[in-house]
């Protein structure tokens, strides 16, 4: 029996943590995925392109509920860091990971 690749495992555990509402575990697995992604060389990628790519990776494979929870977490973190709700909405829209309706629902979820 072979082991699951780490990146796949962390993504699976992140999805499970988001579904269970365990933000501490979700942040841990998100951090591990980011560490692994940062170590992957990306030639000529701007910081914005990198952020959009990472966002798409996080949302990949999530169902609607998982997307709402993850987006709500992003709103909370970004606003705590001084970003506006509009900034987060525009970022999610540009990343093309959610519909407009889902973005609106995630703010009140």
Q: What is the pLDDT of residue 67?
A: 93
Determine the longest span between alpha carbons in the chain, in angstroms: 48
| pLDDT of res. 88 | 94
Percent of the chain with pLDDT over 70: 93
Cβ pair 86, 49 in contact under 8 A: no
The residues, any chain, with a CB within 8 Å of residue 33's CB and separated by 6 or more, are: 7, 10, 11, 14, 54, 57, 58
Return the pLDDT at 42: 62
pLDDT at 39: 58
Q: Give the residues of the chain that fall short of pLDDT 70.
A: 1, 38-43, 109
User: DSSP state, 1?
Assistant: -
Q: Helices H, strands E: what count in the chain?
A: 6, 0
The pLDDT of residue 8 is: 86
CA distance 86 to 63: 23
Two tokens, residue 59: 């949302």
């Amino acid at each position: 029996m072979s082991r699951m690749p780490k990146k796949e495992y962390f993504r699976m555990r992140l999805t499970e943590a988001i579904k269970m509402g365990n933000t501490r575990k979700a942040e841990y697995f998100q951090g591990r995925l980011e560490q692994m992604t940062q170590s992957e060389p990306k030639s000529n990628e701007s910081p914005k392109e990198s952020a959009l790519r990472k966002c798409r990776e996080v949302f990949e494979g999530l169902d609607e509920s998982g997307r709402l929870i993850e987006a709500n977490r992003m709103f909370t973190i970004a606003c705590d860091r001084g970003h506006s709700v509009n900034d987060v909405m525009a970022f999610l829209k540009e990343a093309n990971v959610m519909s407009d309706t889902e973005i609106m629902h995630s703010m009140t979820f």
